[in-house]
């Protein structure tokens, strides 16, 4: 920490340290909770009943149950589909396309589109769940505007196509984040580079694919990292729309975790689920971080 | 000049997108302003504000204040704690600081439901099963992201400016408040906004922490209103939803100017 060049820092080290203290304290609390959750995963602790007081260490039993009992692997698969289509394909690609298309457009059109997308993002989860349940219901907007005029019988989307519906709802809700990030990233690509590519005869497709995308690759990796984490553990929208149903069609890991921990009261097993989720997302993040670090 | 102006086709496609994006709101608006709302998508025969009057007459005012306190409290506390730690993290060459920050972010991937039980027990023991408890808990959960984002913003403030100010005789406090903070204003606004909307939307924590109806924020109130009067009162629900959604939208428009600049810092570095 010998930082002779910055005397206003070195002479005030204790002030800086004091400033960091609250954050260190709160992070300690976070670590403490996390350690607790880890410890729970090796016990048969329950929310209510005898096991809530006289719990025992059960070793790796909870983790064995992840693979031997039905539920976890199915939920994992549902989550993978949900994350892949709603976050990686939906939000990222759509967000990028919108950012690329709106770049340098007239300001009114840009503002209108931006505000429309943002409204989805700003809407509280529970309200968004209402909205999409109503829109995809048998008497909802999609049936009244598209299915009925075609002379087809109304479809109960939220029931018959639950996973696609929550996926679309999440795309609707989350694209704004990717859009904003990509929009800022594209603004940072210098105009000269793009102009030079144009002079060299690159088509618009090539300009995006071969010039702009490689430049903003760190942004893409960061975006992927954040939205993967968020979507992987995203809970309220799905829970409020379907509660995981019908059957278990939309029971992603976050919903499965909630159902096991709080509806069924198996806190030990629930903790094992969250530890498993942490490991999975951790591995995914390492892949993204590698993408971020790697020199071009 | 600007030659990549959109073709007519792009403009039409974008307009189409916007219309699709906004269309689910039709149900919300049509029902909220229809005093005889049935929850169906239909053109109202009468238009009126009765639903809104009903929505604000009950506990909504109290819940609005609760939500506002939780959201503004969390956002402000997060930003203050975050700034005072992120500035040293950005300026001092503490070994392994980046690895440390990313480890924190990784840890934060533990689903909130996973730390809910220890969180509840601790809050109970410390007598924090109230709004202050919710604010502190949300700040704890926010902190890894807040720290990472704020540190990235501070990294972009050129240290030469601080050197110049020091030579002119400015103190550390003056350097931070007169140079660093103003220059990273957009970033701070973005972080504040994220924390605010996150806390405003938060449902699970207040649901478990709020033991009495007086302490419910709007998210819990809305959820609780579902089963209250026997049959679901859609007019009330939709009007309540609009009131509930309004502040986050309002804050966005207030801070909108800062958004693009602020987001530029989100990407870049690890």
Which chain A residues are closer than 8 Å to B237 by Cβ?
130
Residue percentage of chain B with pLDDT more than 70: 89
CATH class of B59-264: mainly alpha
- Please write the tens of the pLDDT for every residue from B102-141: 777 777 766 776 787 788 888 888 888 888 889 999 999 8
Residue A82 has pLDDT above 90, yes or no: yes
Using 50, 70 and 90 to split pLDDT, how confident is the model at B45?
confident
Using 50, 70 and 90 to split pLDDT, how confident is the model at B260?
low
How far is the C-alpha of B135 from the C-alpha of B62, rounded, in Å? 17
Mutate to test the interface with B, among A10, A122, A233, A258 (most CBs of B within 10 A): A122
Of B5, B113, B140, the CB nearest to A104: B5
How far is the C-alpha of B267 from the C-alpha of A218, rounded, in Å? 7
Q: How many CB atoms lie within 10 A of CB A66?
A: 18
- Over range A245-257, report the average pLDDT: 85
Cβ contact A116–B84 (<8 Å): no
8 A C-beta contact, residue A165 and residue A132 = yes
- Please write the tens of the pLDDT for every residue from A176-190: 889 988 888 888 777
How far is the C-alpha of A125 from the C-alpha of A173, rounded, in Å? 9
Q: Which of residues 160-199 of A touch B (CB under 8 A)?
A: 172, 180-181, 183-185, 187-188, 198
pLDDT of amino acid A175? 92
Cβ contact A119–B143 (<8 Å): no
8 A C-beta contact, residue A214 and residue A296 = yes
Work out the minimum CA distance from A211 to partner chain B, whole angstroms. Answer: 15
- Over range B13-37, report the average pLDDT: 85
Q: How many domains does chain A have?
A: 1
Mutate to test the interface with A, among B27, B113, B233, B248 (most CBs of A within 10 A): B113
Point out the least confidently predicted range of A62-76, A206-220, B139-153.
A206-220
Which has the higher per-residue pLDDT, A35 or A211?
A35
Of B41, B84, B102, the CB nearest to A139: B41
Task: Find the DSSP H helices in chain A.
Answer: 7-10, 13-40, 61-68, 72-82, 94-102, 107-122, 125-135, 141-142, 157-160, 162-188, 191-199, 204-206, 213-215, 217-232, 236-241, 253-258, 267-293
Domain that holds residue A116: 60-293
Work out the minimum CA distance from A255 to partner chain B, whole angstroms. Answer: 10
Residue A148 lies in a domain: yes
Which chain B residues are closer than 8 Å to A203 by Cβ?
none
- Please write the tens of the pLDDT for every residue from B146-159: 888 888 888 888 88
Mutate to test the interface with B, among A124, A190, A237 (most CBs of B within 10 A): A124
Q: Nearest chain B Cα to A174, which residue?
A: B21
How far is the C-alpha of B168 from the C-alpha of A292, rounded, in Å? 39
Point out the least confidently predicted range of A5-14, A232-241, A283-292, B166-175.
A5-14
Cβ contact B41–A134 (<8 Å): yes
Residue A11 lies in a domain: no
Exposed/middle/buried for A15, CB within 10 Å: 0-12, 13-18, 19+?
A: middle
Task: Write out the DSSP string of chain B.
Answer: ----PPPHHHHHHHHHHHHHHHTTHHHHHHHHT-TT--SS----SS--SHHHHHHHHSSHHHHHHHHHHHHHHHHHHHHHHHHHHHHHHHHS--TTHHHHHHHHHHHTTS-HHHHHHHHHHHHHHTT--SHHHHHHHHHHHHHHHHHHHHHHHHHTS-HHHHHHHHHTT--HHHHIIIIIHHHTHHHHHHHHHHHHHHHHH--HHHHHH--SGGG--HHHHHHHHTTTTSS--HHHHHHHHHHHHHHHHHHHHHHHHHHHHHHHTTSS--
Q: Nearest chain A Cα to B174, which residue?
A: A8
Q: Nearest chain A Cα to B242, which residue?
A: A127
Q: A125 φ, ψ to 5°?
A: -50, -45
- Please write the tens of the pLDDT for every residue from B185-197: 888 888 898 899 8
A282 lies within 8 A of chain B by CB? yes
Cβ contact B266–A222 (<8 Å): yes
Instruction: Tell me how far the alpha carbon of residue B96 is from its chain's centroid.
Output: 30
Exposed/middle/buried for B247, CB within 10 Å: 0-12, 13-18, 19+?
A: buried
Residue A160 lies in a domain: yes
- Over range A246-260, report the average pLDDT: 86
How far is the C-alpha of A95 from the C-alpha of A180, rounded, in Å? 8
CATH assignment at residue A119: 1.10.3720.10
Residue A81 lies in a domain: yes
Of B107, B117, B203, the CB nearest to A30: B107
Cβ contact B175–A8 (<8 Å): yes
Residue A38 lies in a domain: no
Which chain B residues are closer than 8 Å to A34 by Cβ?
107, 110, 115
Q: Which of residues 234-253 of A touch B (CB under 8 A)?
A: 235-236, 240, 253
Which chain A residues are closer than 8 Å to B254 by Cβ?
none
Residue B270 has pLDDT above 60, yes or no: no
Work out the minimum CA distance from A45 to partner chain B, whole angstroms. Answer: 11
Residue B236 has pLDDT above 90, yes or no: no
Residue A138 has pLDDT above 80, yes or no: no
Q: Nearest chain B Cα to A224, which residue?
A: B267
pLDDT of amino acid A171? 93
How far is the C-alpha of B102 from the C-alpha of B148, rounded, in Å? 8
Exposed/middle/buried for B92, CB within 10 Å: 0-12, 13-18, 19+?
A: middle
pLDDT of amino acid B2? 42
Residue A42 lies in a domain: no
SS3 A118: helix
Residue A267 lies in a domain: yes
Q: How many CB atoms lie within 10 A of CB A133?
A: 18
pLDDT of amino acid A80? 92
Using 50, 70 and 90 to split pLDDT, how confident is the model at A2?
very low
Using CA atoms of A20, A25, A30, A34 in order, give the dihedral in degrees to the nearest 10: 120
Which chain B residues are closer than 8 Å to A124 by Cβ?
200-201, 219, 241, 244-245, 248
8 A C-beta contact, residue B102 and residue B270 = yes
How far is the C-alpha of B258 from the C-alpha of A237, rounded, in Å? 28
């Amino acid at each position: 920490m010998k930082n002779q060049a910055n005397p206003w820092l070195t002479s005030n080290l204790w002030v800086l340290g004091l400033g960091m203290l609250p954050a260190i304290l709160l992070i300690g609390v976070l670590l403490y909770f996390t350690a607790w959750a880890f410890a729970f995963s090796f016990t048969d602790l329950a929310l209510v009943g005898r096991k809530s007081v006289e719990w025992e260490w059960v070793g790796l039993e909870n983790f064995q149950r992840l693979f031997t009992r039905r539920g976890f692997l199915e939920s994992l698969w549902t989550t993978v589909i949900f994350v892949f289509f709603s976050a990686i394909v939906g939000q990222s690609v759509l967000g990028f396309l919108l950012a690329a298309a709106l770049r340098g457009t007239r300001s009114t059109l840009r503002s209108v589109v931006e505000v429309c997308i943002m409204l989805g993002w700003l809407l509280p989860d529970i309200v968004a769940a209402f909205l999409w349940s109503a829109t995809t219901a048998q008497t909802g907007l999609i049936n009244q505007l598209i299915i009925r005029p075609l002379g087809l019988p109304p479809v109960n989307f939220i029931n018959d196509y639950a996973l696609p519906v929550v996926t679309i709802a999440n795309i609707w809700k989350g694209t704004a984040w990717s859009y904003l990030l990509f929009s800022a990233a594209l603004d940072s690509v210098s105009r000269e580079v793009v102009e030079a590519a144009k002079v060299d005869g690159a088509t618009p497709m090539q300009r995006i694919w071969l010039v702009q995308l490689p430049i903003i690759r760190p942004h893409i990796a960061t975006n992927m990292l954040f939205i993967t984490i968020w979507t992987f553990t995203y809970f309220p929208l799905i829970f409020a729309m379907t509660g995981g149903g019908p059957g278990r069609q939309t029971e992603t890991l976050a919903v499965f975790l909630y159902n096991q921990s709080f509806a069924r009261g198996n806190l030990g097993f629930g903790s094992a689920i969250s530890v498993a989720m942490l490991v999975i997302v951790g591995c995914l993040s390492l892949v993204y971080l590698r993408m971020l670090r790697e020199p071009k | 000049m600007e030659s990549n102006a959109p073709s007519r086709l792009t403009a039409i496609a974008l307009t189409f997108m916007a219309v699709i994006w906004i269309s689910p709101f039709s149900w919300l608006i049509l029902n909220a302003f229809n005093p005889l709302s049935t929850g169906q998508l239909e053109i109202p025969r009468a238009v009126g504000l009765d639903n809104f009057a009903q929505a604000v007459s009950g506990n909504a005012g109290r819940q609005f204040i609760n939500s506002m306190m939780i959201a503004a409290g969390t956002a402000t506390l997060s930003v203050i704690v975050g700034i005072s730690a992120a500035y040293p993290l950005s300026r001092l060459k503490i070994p392994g600081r980046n690895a440390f920050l990313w480890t924190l972010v990784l840890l934060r991937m533990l689903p909130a439901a996973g730390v809910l039980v220890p969180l509840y027990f601790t809050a109970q023991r410390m007598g924090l099963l109230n709004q202050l408890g919710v604010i502190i808990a949300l700040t704890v959960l926010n902190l890894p992201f807040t720290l990472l984002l704020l540190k990235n913003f501070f990294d972009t403030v050129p240290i030469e400016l601080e050197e110049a100010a020091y030579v002119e005789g400015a103190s550390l406090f003056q350097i931070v408040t007169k140079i660093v903070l103003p220059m990273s204003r957009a970033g701070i606004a973005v972080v504040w906004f994220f924390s605010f909307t996150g806390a405003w939307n938060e449902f699970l924590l207040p649901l478990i922490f709020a033991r009495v109806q007086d302490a419910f924020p709007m998210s819990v109130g809305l959820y609780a209103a579902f089963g209250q009067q026997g049959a679901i009162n859609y007019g009330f629900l939709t009007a309540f939803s609009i009131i509930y959604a309004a502040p986050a939208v309002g804050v966005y428009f207030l801070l909108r100017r800062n958004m693009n600049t602020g987001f530029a810092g989100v990407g870049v570095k690890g």
